[in-house]
């Protein structure tokens, strides 16, 4: 498919080199005209900039080292055609992405994702503008924080399913977690139509999610400068998964975006649709008008509900299981609090949360200790700017180093230690300690609108698991403890390498509670 021949490839490479050289000259000229220096950063080669310095894994740690080396909370990197601005402190991220959000709220072109793969309709990757605003409004209107009945009932239902799966097949806990989160999100989005084809939709959504994760790596953004090379070079940058034709990408997108939407429409016609985002959004449309554009918006929003939450929540809960396996004392403290407040005769409810400060602190520490998104999704600056005496060129890709912010030892002493107590004072949550949620869900106008859903889902799952199960280090057939390595895989979504843990009911009433046995 990509055997294009030497003359074709050579022509395109010459074309690309010419464009990059022009961009390089224009960038030098704009910096000279600005009168301000660029932020500090590693030395740059002519034309190539820092192309050969860019890290391929655990980028956040490398960026943080450079920030320390150059004693600056904002650093500049350049690659052919693109300037990267790394924000290594909360102050810099807040000053630019929050306080100057009017010019820092757009996104890169994401040529591979949007042009090659056909995902330009996905909200997180859309440029800031009218199309993005319409979809953001639709999402916020249905999943407003005050409208929690729409998602909490689904979260309770799917948490109950998870507990039963952990009871009957604990070794596949990670698969159960992913299916619980994904199934719950699909149910919120499509209702009972998703339940009927749940396994197929989950598998499809997981495939799409993995493609998106691969497609948003820094290497693919290099192609934004020369989009004509995207289809040729994207398979080399992100692997064999991208060796698909236009027709294959279109079919994947249609199966993910269009088919479940049509299923809901058919069930509504038959009077069989259950409450869901899609059903409610369709109910609000005028009957007599042409609603093609509104249908497109609904499909777009529905597609992002799953993608936006499944990978991040799954990774965070994977970290929760690791922390409970490694730190049994922390687990015991949370369970003592649950037994004291909830007891062992019922499962936790959302009403219990205000009376469970240690559990709340534990969840905050899970989010902080191993941030699921060590680097924030990239923003794009729309016009030249100056910050702290440094010139930031228009069209710079601006990335917040979330990992560095959440490992700042001034805010979180001894940040590498898993310590829920850092969020407590006199037995209550200490509001003077920054909540990691203020960082992990993004900044400014591009902050995640589903933060409250992520929080309530994680709360009810973690509270219910700790009420009914003990998570421990397993032993092999020879009685040797199988300690997890605690290592993580580098990626857009940060999660532990697979590990085994022992999951067993922690008291005599646990199994009856899980099975709903009143006797």
- CB within 8 A of 202, min separation 6: which ones? 178, 179, 182, 183, 186
Alpha-carbon gap, residue 190 to 302, rounded angstroms? 8
Residue found under tokens 């900039």: 49
List alpha helices for 118-148, DSSP H: 130-142
End-to-end CA distance of the chain: 64
- In total, the chain counts a number of residues equal to 519
Q: For residue 400, give both structure tokens.
A: 């917040």
Phi-psi region of 424 (alpha: psi -120 to 50; beta: other; left: phi over 0): beta
Residue whose tokens read 């004693």: 71
Separation CA 158–CA 300 (nearest Å): 24
Between CA 383 and CA 205 the distance in angstroms is 36
Is there a contact between 370 and 412 (Cβ–Cβ < 8 Å)? no
The pair of structure tokens assigned to 121 is: 């309709």
Furthest C-alpha separation in the chain? 80
Q: Are 483 and 339 contacting, i.e. CB atoms less than 8 angstroms apart?
A: no
Binding residues for heme: 448
Which residue in 59, 316, 40 sits closest to 174, CA to CA?
Answer: 316
Annotated binding site: 448
| Helix axes 292-326 and 246-257, enclosed angle (nearest 10) | 80
Using CA atoms, how far residue 292 sits from 274, 283, 287, 378, in Å, is 22, 14, 12, 31
Of the candidates 304, 23, 340, the residue with the CA atom closest to the CA atom of residue 142: 304
Alpha helix (H) residue ranges in 49-129: 59-69, 90-93, 101-104, 111
Q: Which two tokens stand for residue 413?
A: 């002493």
Question: What does the alpha-carbon distance between residue 240 and residue 378 come to, in Å, rounded to a whole number?
Answer: 25
Backbone angles phi, psi at 252, to 5 degrees: -65, -45
**C-alpha closest to that of 139 among 382, 306, 346, 312:** 306
Instruction: Tell how strand 390-392 and strand 82-87 pair up.
Output: unpaired
């Amino acid at each position: 498919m990509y055997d294009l021949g030497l003359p074709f490839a050579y022509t395109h490479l010459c074309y690309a080199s010419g464009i990059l050289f022009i961009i390089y000259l224009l960038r030098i000229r704009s910096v000279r005209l600005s009168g301000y220096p660029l932020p500090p950063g590693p030395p740059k080669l002519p034309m190539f900039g820092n192309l050969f310095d860019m890290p391929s894994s655990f980028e956040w740690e490398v960026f943080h080292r450079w920030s320390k080396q150059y004693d600056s909370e904002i650093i500049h990197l350049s690659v052919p055609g693109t300037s990267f601005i790394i924000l290594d402190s909360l102050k810099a991220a807040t000053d630019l992405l929050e306080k100057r959000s009017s010019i820092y709220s757009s996104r890169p072109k994401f040529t591979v994702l949007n042009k090659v793969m056909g995902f330009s309709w996905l909200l997180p990757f859309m440029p800031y503008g009218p199309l993005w605003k319409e979809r953001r409004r639709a999402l916020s209107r249905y999943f407003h924080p005050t409208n929690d009945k729409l998602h909490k009932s689904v979260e309770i239902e799917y948490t109950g399913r998870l507990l039963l799966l952990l009871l009957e097949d604990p070794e596949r806990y990670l698969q159960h977690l992913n299916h619980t989160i994904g199934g719950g999100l699909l149910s919120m989005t499509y209702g009972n139509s998703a339940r009927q084809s749940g396994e197929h939709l989950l598998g499809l959504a997981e495939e799409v999610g993995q493609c998106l994760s691969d497609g948003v790596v820094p290497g693919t953004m290099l192609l934004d400068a020369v989009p004509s090379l995207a289809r040729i070079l994207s398979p080399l940058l992100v692997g064999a998964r991208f060796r698909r034709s236009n027709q294959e990408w279109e079919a994947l997108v249609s199966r993910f975006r269009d088919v479940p939407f049509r299923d809901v429409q058919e069930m509504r016609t038959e009077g069989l649709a259950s409450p869901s985002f899609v059903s409610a959004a369709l109910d609000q449309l005028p009957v007599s008008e042409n609603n093609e554009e509104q249908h497109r918006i609904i499909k777009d929003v529905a597609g992002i509900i799953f993608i936006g939450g499944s990978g991040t929540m799954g990774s965070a809960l994977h970290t929760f299981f690791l922390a409970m396996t490694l730190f049994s004392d922390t687990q015991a403290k949370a369970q003592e609090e649950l037994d004291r407040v909830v007891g062992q005769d019922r499962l936790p409810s959302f009403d219990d949360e205000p009376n469970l400060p240690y559990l709340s602190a534990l969840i905050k520490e899970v989010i902080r200790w191993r941030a699921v998104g060590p680097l924030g999704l990239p923003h794009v600056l729309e016009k030249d700017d100056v910050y702290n005496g440094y010139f930031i060129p228009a069209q710079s890709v601006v990335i917040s180093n979330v990992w560095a912010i959440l490992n700042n030892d001034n805010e979180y002493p001894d940040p590498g230690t898993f310590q829920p107590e850092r969020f407590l004072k006199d037995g209550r949550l200490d509001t003077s300690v920054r909540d990691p949620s203020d960082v992990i869900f993004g900044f400014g106008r591009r902050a995640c609108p589903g933060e409250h859903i992520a929080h309530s889902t994680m709360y009810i799952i973690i509270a219910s698991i700790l009420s009914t199960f003990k998570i421990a280090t397993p032993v092999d057939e020879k009685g040797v403890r199988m300690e997890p390595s605690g290592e993580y895989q580098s990626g857009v979504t940060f999660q532990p390498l697979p590990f085994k843990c022992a999951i067993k009911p922690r008291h005599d009433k646990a199994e009856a509670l899980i099975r709903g046995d009143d006797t």
